[in-house]
Structure 1
Amino acid sequence: MYKKPCTQRHYASEQYLLPADEVETNRLDYQHLFTFKTFENRLSIAPIDLKSGDRVLESAAGTGIWAIDFFEENRKNDVLLDIECIDICDKQFRKNRPFGVHFSIHSVTDLPAEWSSTFSYVYQRLITYALNESLWRKSLSELFRVLLPGGWVELMEVESQTYHIHVGPCSTKLQSLIFETLARKGVIMNLAQHLSAVLKTIGFVDIQCEARQVRIGRSGEKVYRSSDFANFVRGLKRDVVKNGMNGTEEEYEDLVRGAEREWDNSDANKASFTIFTILARKP
């Protein structure tokens, strides 16, 4: 059932297209569980062999739910990690977390100088809508710097150019508006290819990529729920309305509701997008 969204959303920055508030926190928790299932119930696909005392960084952690689950998974195997979670905003940081998981406010493009060659493993996901080309280079250079030699970085992202969400008149208009907004903000549409090239330029080796196609619909195995995808595009409202919609927030909400109905009722496999994970090692 449709629930009227909060009219006032909190955004942590002008650059990042999505909000940082309770509504977004709930969406991120669902997204975490979904991506976990999509990649065969794995929190990580990196070929790592961590031991107690190793430091791990979750970059752009949001709620930190991945770090908490990763810590607990390793603790069950008697491996006690020291995990640092960073984000530009603390509004979504979890108050209840294990002793080995720490939170701090930092930008992915400007990590502390004292973290150089500190972490055995870095995990970062789904910040496609926070970075343009130059910011991606800064971010990946920072991740290279803070990794220990031999350490791995894992980046999970959405390939925006693969969005196929136009299955009716409302969703077709919505996709056009979203693509226009992404272009204005400098979001990279062919991100998998771009990141692979930048990682190599920075000095990473053993670069590899795994991708999964995700269907959008009412329900089903490995189907991203239409209602949650609608909540994602609701989060883009600030920039879509401001940057070219030529309409009101209420009209945007009507458009999202119409698109959600179309995704619910579309044929199987019709609405979809691609999510991918890139691994790379610091020599």
Structure 2
Amino acid sequence: MDKVSKLSNLSNESTTTTIGRTDEDDMELLYPLPEKDYGGDRLALQHHLFKYIWRSNFSAPVVEKLNAGAKVLDFGCGTVSWLLDVSSQYPKSTFYGVDQPYLLRLSTPTIPSNVSVQYYDILSGLPFDDETFDFIYMRFMAGEIPEKQTERIINEFLRVLKVGGYLEIMDVETQ
């Protein structure tokens, strides 16, 4: 069932939107672990652990852009741990997170005014104009995206990435 619905949020100044399919049967393809294994606490801990290991939230040379005020997309934002962290570090920038509606149930944090979260079918294309973002970030999604969709998703990233922008894909090797 296709639908677009505005979801309530704890912040009066930011938005959370659901776009596209929300059938839970579809989510099995993208999230192979049982729901109990996708707990928000585990994802938040994972975020902080990898930030500590890598000594940063990202490796792309975008600090100057972020300090000046950039548009950033977090593809597969999950429980928004990364978004909350970087949006507080770079308050002049605007951050957009997209992910499956399935993850909305795992976390409902207070969303800062410089963050907008959209939950929708991430395989149905990005709902943004061409050349919208200065920086696109994706972390730990390799096992979540069907292999046959990877090229199409990368092409969508390139479509919405500004000329001179940065795309960072951070993942672990799986065999």
Instruction: Specify the TM-score bucket, using the shorter chain as the normaliser.
Output: 0.7 to 0.9
Gaps (5+ residues) in structure 2? 1-23
Establish whether residue 144 from structure 1 lines up as the match of residue 136 from structure 2: no
**Which residue of structure 2 lines up, in the alignment, with residue 72 of structure 1?**
88
Question: Contact 2:40–2:107 (CA<8 Å) still a contact in 1?
Answer: no
Report the AA paired with residue 81 of structure 1. S
How far residue 137 of structure 1 moved from its aligned partner, in angstroms, is: 0.8
Q: Which residue of 2 aligns with 1:86?
A: 98
Contact kept, 8 Å, 1:21 with 1:92, in 2: the verdict is no
Aligned length: 146
How far apart, CA to CA, are the structure 2 residues paired with 1:20 and 1:37? 26
Partner of 1:54 in structure 2?
Answer: 70
Query: Corresponding residue for 2:49?
Result: 34
How many angstroms apart in 1 are the aligned matches of 2:154 and 2:46? 23
Structure 1: gaps (5+ residues): 1-9, 162-283
CA deviation after TM superposition for structure 1 residue 88, in Å: 1.2
Whole-angstrom CA distance in 1 between matches of 2:70 and 2:95: 8
Residue 117 of structure 2 is matched in structure 1 by 103
CA-based RMSD: 2.1
Identity between Structure 1 and Structure 2 (%): 25
Q: Supply the distance in 1 between the matched residues of 2:139 and 2:79 (Cα, whole angstroms).
A: 12
Q: Is the 8 A contact 1:58 1:123 kept in 2?
A: yes
Change beyond 3 A, Cα 1:73–1:88: same
- Quote the offset at 1:34 in angstroms: 1.0
**Distance in 1 of aligned mates of 2:170 and 2:112:** 24
Consecutive aligned runs of 4 or more in structure 1 exceeding 6 Å deviation: none
Structure showing greater Rg: 1
**Residue type matched to 2:174 in 1?**
S
Alpha-carbon deviations, 1:45-99, whole Å to 9, x = none?
A: 1011214442100001001110110111123xxxx11100110112235331211
- Could you tell me the TM-score, scaled by structure 2's length? 0.75
Partner of 1:130: 144
Moved more, 22-31 or 141-150: 22-31
- The whole-number CA distance in structure 2 between the counterparts of 1:53 and 1:46 is 16
Contact 1:12–1:19 (8 Å) recurs in 2? no
Summarize the Cα distance change of 1:139–1:107 in structure 2 as closer, same or farther, 3 Å threshold.
farther
